[in-house]
Amino acid sequence: MATTSQNTEFIKKLAVQLGFEYCGIAKAKKLDADARRLESWLQNDMHGTMSYMENYFDLRIDPAKLVPGAKSVITLMKNYYPAKQQELDTPKISKYAYGKDYHEVIRAKLNEFIDNIKTKIGDIHGRGFVDSAPVLERTWAQRSGLGWIGKNGNLITKGSGSFYFIATLITDLELEFDDPFIKDYCGTCTRCIDECPTDAILPDKVINGSKCISYFTIELKDMLIPDTMKGKFDNWMFGCDVCQDVCPWNRFSKTTNETAFTPIPEILNLSTKEWSELTEESFKKIFSASPLKRTKYSGIQRNLKFIVE
């Protein structure tokens, strides 16, 4: 029977084989400090119309509620920094959405990850999560020693910045734990706060989600974006990368080697006029596997109209 150390080594090597650049492991425990921060954030209505953030509060802060008997939380990180950037005069799209929908790409890798663990180690219980579940993935990444949470709310790695997708696997398997990442290397830098077009980044690493451009262009389901935001979007049509683009640590960003994240040509090249003339049928065909489908054709046209008028 393999030892805890051998199982840990196997999991770290498996993560690399499946294309994850980072893998860290933390002890599964209730996140009491995060519970207090999340409660305050919700009470101050910083989630806007994202009412789903109020759901499953206990599950978000206690991994044992998601996986009974949880012992370890494995954090996996996948680089998505693109080799090519958009043309300068095109409506801006967040880099995470350049290629195929990361939920599908990472979920497939997570399922393979779990299957391999069960084949090698035995009938362990575990659940994998990619962004769309009640898991505080950035906290677990920090507790796993992978980086620190920056003033912009993103997990920042010292070696290669913050353009990473984070996946979380909660399991009842006993593993060796990594030391948490203690130091905050943001220092006195406030570039992300200063450059945020809508002043959504507050002191003490608090993000007012209800003022974020990503919220308005992706999460907001109303067909009208508030007039108070007029002229503040800096041509962002889907999401926003300003707080990452200005972060000094992202000068160390490396190009992803994941072919699934290869930019869709239209995202790089379509002009404002071409976007406005795009039919719904063409949109569905071109972006069928893209994160842009979340906003739907009507949402993209709403956003486009808002930033050009």
Which residue, 232, 304, 235, is CA-closest to 275?
304
What integer pLDDT is reported at residue 66 of this predicted model?
A: 84
Share of the chain above pLDDT 70, in %: 90
Pairing of strands 126-129, 164-171: antiparallel
pLDDT reading at 234 higher than 60: yes
Q: What type of residue sits at position 208? A: N
Per residue in 179-208, pLDDT (tens digit) is 999 999 999 999 999 999 999 999 888 888
Per residue in 266-308, pLDDT (tens digit) is 999 999 999 999 999 999 999 999 999 999 999 999 999 999 9
Q: What average pLDDT does this structure show over 23-34?
A: 87
Quick one: pLDDT band at residue 219, thresholds 50, 70, 90? confident
Q: What average pLDDT does this structure show over 35-44?
A: 61
Sole residue written with tokens 């299957």: 115
Q: What average pLDDT does this structure show over 222-229?
A: 88
pLDDT reading at 56 higher than 80: no
Please provide residue 75's backbone torsions phi and psi, each rounded to the nearest 5 degrees: -110, 130
Per residue in 101-138, pLDDT (tens digit) is 999 999 999 999 999 999 999 989 999 988 766 578 89
The DSSP call for residue 84 is S
The C-alpha atoms of residue 79 and residue 162 are separated, in whole angstroms, by: 8
Quick one: pLDDT band at residue 55, thresholds 50, 70, 90? low
Cite the active site residues. 131
What integer pLDDT is reported at residue 125 of this predicted model?
A: 93
Per residue in 257-273, pLDDT (tens digit) is 999 999 999 999 999 99
Q: What average pLDDT does this structure show over 26-30?
A: 93
The mean of the pLDDT values for the chain is 91
Sole residue written with tokens 């953030």: 53
The C-alpha atoms of residue 224 and residue 273 are separated, in whole angstroms, by: 21
Residues linked to residue 157 through DSSP beta bridges, in sequence order: 161
CA 13 → CA 77, 78, 303, distances in Å?
14, 15, 43
Per residue in 159-183, pLDDT (tens digit) is 999 999 999 999 999 999 999 999 9
80 within 8 A of 96, measured Cβ to Cβ: yes
The C-alpha atoms of residue 148 and residue 190 are separated, in whole angstroms, by: 15
pLDDT reading at 99 higher than 60: yes
